[in-house]
Amino acid sequence: MIARLYTSLASLTFGLWLMGGVMALMAAGSFMGERAAALNEMPLFAWLGEAPLAASWWLWGTLCLLALMVVNTILCSIEAIRIRYGKSGPMALLAPQLMHLGFLLIVLAHLLSARGGAKQAMQLFEGSDLRFPGGSSVVVEAIDATMGPRGMPVDFGARVRTVDGGSEARTTVRPNEPLFHRGVGIYVKHVELFPVRTAYVEVHREPGAGWALAGALLFTAGNVLVLSQRRERRTP
Amino acid sequence: MKWLLITSIGLYLFGSFRRPFLAGGLLAGLSYLAVRGVELGRLPLVGPHDTLVFLAVSIGLMALPFLFSPALENSGTFSWGAGFMAAFFTLLALPLPSFSMPLPPILRTLWFELHVALAFFAYALFGIGAILGGMFLAKGERMLLDLLYRAALVGYTFFSASMVSGGIWGYYAWGTYWLWTPKELWTSILWLFYSFWLHVRLRGGGGDKVLAWCGIAGFAVALFTYLGVSILMKSSHSF
Domain total for chain A?
A: 3
- Per the prediction, chain A carries an average pLDDT of 90
Quote the CA–CA distance of B129 and B135 in Å, as a whole number.
Answer: 10
Contact A141/A100 with Cβ under 8 angstroms? no
Mutate to test the interface with B, among A16, A22, A30, A79 (most CBs of B within 10 A): A30
pLDDT score of B104 more than 90? no
pLDDT at position A38, please? 79
Q: Are residues A217 and A110 in the same domain?
A: yes
Q: Are residues A198 and A235 in the same domain?
A: no
Mutate to test the interface with A, among B110, B158, B177 (most CBs of A within 10 A): B177
Q: Are residues A199 and A216 in the same domain?
A: no
Contact call for B153 and A110, based on CB within 8 A: no
Q: Are residues A213 and A113 in the same domain?
A: yes
Q: Are residues B69 and B154 in the same domain?
A: no
Taking residues B162-183, what's their average pLDDT? Answer: 93
Q: Are residues A135 and A235 in the same domain?
A: no
Q: Which of B68, B102, B136 is the last residue of a domain?
A: B102
Quote the CA–CA distance of B114 and B169 in Å, as a whole number.
Answer: 9
Contact call for A36 and B180, based on CB within 8 A: yes
Taking residues B169-195, what's their average pLDDT? Answer: 94
* DSSP 8-state code for residue B74: T
pLDDT at position A41, please? 84
Q: Are residues B27 and B111 in the same domain?
A: no
Cβ burial A146-175 (10 Å sphere, 16+ → b, else e): eeeeeeebbebbbbbebbeeeeeeebebbb
- Residue A233: pLDDT band by 50, 70, 90 thresholds? low
Residue of B nearest to A218 (CA): B164
* DSSP 8-state code for residue B226: I
ipTM: 0.91
pLDDT at position B18, please? 86
Q: Which of B57, B87, B102 is the last residue of a domain?
A: B102
Q: Are residues B91 and B204 in the same domain?
A: no
Q: Are residues B92 and B115 in the same domain?
A: no
Question: Which residues does A51 contact at the CB level (< 8 Å), separation at least 6?
Answer: A36, A38, A39
A82-86, B156-160, B172-176: range with lowest mean pLDDT: A82-86
Taking residues B18-31, what's their average pLDDT? Answer: 92
Residue A101's domain comprises 92-117+209-236
pLDDT score of A78 more than 60? yes
Q: Are residues B89 and B115 in the same domain?
A: no
Q: Are residues A113 and A154 in the same domain?
A: no
Please give the angle made by the CA atoms of A48, A54 and A58, to the nearest 5 degrees: 65
Rg over alpha carbons for chain B, rounded to the nearest Å, is 18
Chain B positions in Cβ-Cβ contact with residue A152 (cut-off 8 Å):
101-102, 104
CATH of the domain at B206: 1.20.120
Question: Which residues does A211 contact at the CB level (< 8 Å), separation at least 6?
Answer: A105, A106, A108, A109, A112
Q: Are residues A141 and A164 in the same domain?
A: yes
Q: Are residues B205 and B219 in the same domain?
A: yes
Closest in A40, A175, A219 to B105, CB measured: A175
Q: Is the Cβ of B154 closer than 8 Å to some Cβ of chain A?
A: yes
Q: Are residues B121 and B231 in the same domain?
A: yes
Q: Are residues A62 and A175 in the same domain?
A: no
pLDDT at position A86, please? 81
- Residue A70: pLDDT band by 50, 70, 90 thresholds? very high
pLDDT tens string A145-177: 988 877 778 889 999 999 988 888 999 999 999
Taking residues B21-49, what's their average pLDDT? Answer: 93
Q: Is the Cβ of B181 closer than 8 Å to some Cβ of chain A?
A: yes
- Residue A85: pLDDT band by 50, 70, 90 thresholds? confident
pLDDT tens string A105-142: 999 999 999 999 999 999 999 999 999 888 899 999 99
Q: Are residues B19 and B118 in the same domain?
A: no
Chain B positions in Cβ-Cβ contact with residue A111 (cut-off 8 Å):
none
Quote the CA–CA distance of A140 and A3 in Å, as a whole number.
Answer: 62
Q: Which residues pair with A188 in a beta bridge?
A: A201
Contact B178/B185 with Cβ under 8 angstroms? no
Q: Are residues B93 and B112 in the same domain?
A: no
Q: Are residues B43 and B68 in the same domain?
A: yes
Q: Are residues A214 and A101 in the same domain?
A: yes
- Residue A40: pLDDT band by 50, 70, 90 thresholds? confident
Quote the CA–CA distance of A7 and B238 in Å, as a whole number.
Answer: 44
Could you count the other beta carbons within 10 Å of the beta carbon of residue A3?
Answer: 7
From chain B residues 72-111, the ones with a CB under 8 A of any chain A CB are 101-102, 104-106, 108-109, 111
Q: Which pTM was predicted?
A: 0.93
Preceding amide of B20 cis, omega within 30: no
Q: Are residues A9 and A75 in the same domain?
A: yes
Domain total for chain B?
A: 2
Question: Quick one: three-class SS letters along B145-181?
Answer: HHHHHHHHHHHHHHHHHHHHHHHHHHHHHHCCCCCCC
CA distance B189 to chain A (A): 5
Residue B164's domain comprises 104-239
Q: Are residues A71 and A144 in the same domain?
A: no
pLDDT score of B94 more than 60? yes
Taking residues A182-206, what's their average pLDDT? Answer: 92
Question: Which residues does B172 contact at the CB level (< 8 Å), separation at least 6?
Answer: A176, A177, A178, B109, B111
- Residue A189: pLDDT band by 50, 70, 90 thresholds? very high
Closest in B101, B108, B196 to A16, CB measured: B196
Q: Is the Cβ of A178 closer than 8 Å to some Cβ of chain B?
A: yes
Q: Provide the H-helix boundaries in chain A.
A: 2-9, 12-30, 44-50, 53-84, 90-116, 209-234
Taking residues B47-66, what's their average pLDDT? Answer: 95
Chain B positions in Cβ-Cβ contact with residue A19 (cut-off 8 Å):
192, 195-196, 199
Q: Are residues B1 and B59 in the same domain?
A: yes
Q: Are residues B98 and B108 in the same domain?
A: no
pLDDT at position A236, please? 44
Closest in A155, A203, A220 to B161, CB measured: A220
Query: B17: helix, coil or strand?
Result: coil
pLDDT score of B237 more than 90? no
pLDDT at position B172, please? 95
CA max distance for chain B: 53
Q: Which of B102, B136, B162 is the last residue of a domain?
A: B102
Residue of B nearest to A120 (CA): B175
CA distance A41 to chain B (A): 10
Q: Are residues A60 and A168 in the same domain?
A: no
